Amino acid sequence: MADVTDLVAEAAALDAADPLAHKRNEFDLDASVAYFDGNSLGAPPKHVAERVAAVVREQWGGRLIRSWSEGWWEAPVRVGERIAPLVGAAPGQLVVADSTSVNLFKALVAATRIDPGRDEILVDADTFPTDGYIADEVARLTGHTVRRVVAEDMPDEVSERTAVALINHVDYISGRAHDMAALTRALHRAGALVLWDLCHSVGALPVELDATGVDLAVGCTYKFLNGGPGAPAFLYVATKWLDRFEQPLAGWAGDRDPFAMRGTYEAHAGIARGRAGTSDILSLLALDAALDVWDDVDRGQLRKKGLALGDFFFRCADELLDGATIATPRGADRGHQISVVDADAAKTMAALIERGVIGDFRPPDVLRFGLAPLYTTYGEVLRAVTTLRDVRA
């Protein structure tokens, strides 16, 4: 068993050699707090507050309604183009608008319309609850049947009845990452479309939507992308499906000529057809500012550090947490969170937070520690594990 002093030295050496260490200085973080909840709400980049204040003072306050024609109206597609490289998407396939739940609804209904002869929706059995809720309502409205299947079993369960399969890229409880390329290929062989939920992977794992042939995807921007509480989500529609993407929320913002004010909706020819109503400009432009921190980030380095942070967490836990059960896979098939099983998780996490280690818990018994490579340090990982040891003693 390693001495804590050895782990302190190891953490210091890892932090000193970290090629992403400088990125932490771009975030507004309390030095007394070790923050491990970026997989629920990312930390704010320092410049965002000033940028949003400028939007309020100079655009809304100075230019007033003229700002709609000076960049506001086009912002959902423009900001989408900034996220596109982070998910391996070529231009013209990603728009930022509405919430993840709303975008899931749009995408699922559109998928059922692409091949109306298929009457089944497969849903990842371990999905984040809202995905299942939305799928159930889509099925009720469209006459489809929802079948919940463990993601890895979908290649054996898909059939000629399956219109679309909805899968979470990273499981929100365990942190396990599913094989996007393999599952997409297998489902395509049966003629089904695939819709991926990227909420727990975008800004953490390298995602290659175009290269893996993904049909549709959604994701939030307030977790690892640090867009702020309630920041708008994004919707990806592969180019091959754009002209057949008939979403159910035919709002004016998705019309081909919104200001013509015609009596009949005609969908925009491009990805803007994924929009529905008027955008939340303050949140959208806060996200736009937050995305600046990604301009010089190498996604390979990001993934390498995320895995290394997890490996160090495992090492510290093995040395310091006697008999702890960790639900997260130890291989590369994981996202950037570590999930520790704890019989009294709610009470334990409250005690951790009281001591300045902020993670979260998921009922009934999982402590989650999000590892955000842009600002999480190895020293903080050691602090989390030593504090958890002390709390559980």
Of the residues 27, 35, 36, 128, only one is catalytic, namely 128
Say whether 197 is catalytic: yes
φ and ψ of 75, to 5 deg: -60, -40
At residue 1, the pLDDT reads: 56
Of the residues 176, 275, 368, 383, only one is catalytic, namely 368
At residue 3, the pLDDT reads: 77
Say whether 280 is catalytic: no
Taking each helix axis from N to C terminus, what angle separates 281-290 and 75-83, rounded to the nearest 10 degrees?
30
Of the residues 223, 273, 275, 334, only one is catalytic, namely 223
Say whether 234 is catalytic: no
What secondary structure letter does DSSP report for 62? I
Of the residues 27, 36, 222, 312, only one is catalytic, namely 222
Question: 202-212: string of b/e by CB count within 10 Å (b at 16+)?
Answer: bbbbebebbeb
* Cβ within 8 Å of residue 386, ≥6 positions away: 4, 316, 320
Taking each helix axis from N to C terminus, what angle separates 4-17 and 378-392, rounded to the nearest 10 degrees?
150
CATH topology of domain 4-32+298-392: Aspartate Aminotransferase, domain 1 (3.90.1150)
At residue 172, the pLDDT reads: 96
pLDDT profile of the chain (393 residues), mean per 10 = 86 98 97 97 98 98 97 98 98 98 98 96 96 98 98 98 98 97 98 98 96 98 98 98 97 96 95 97 98 96 98 97 94 97 97 98 97 98 98 91
* Cβ within 8 Å of residue 94, ≥6 positions away: 80, 81, 83, 84, 87, 234, 235, 236, 271
Residue boundaries of the structural domains of the chain: 4-32+298-392, 50-294
Say whether 313 is catalytic: no
Q: Confirm whether pTM is higher than 0.95.
A: yes
Say whether 347 is catalytic: no
CATH topology of domain 50-294: Aspartate Aminotransferase; domain 2 (3.40.640)
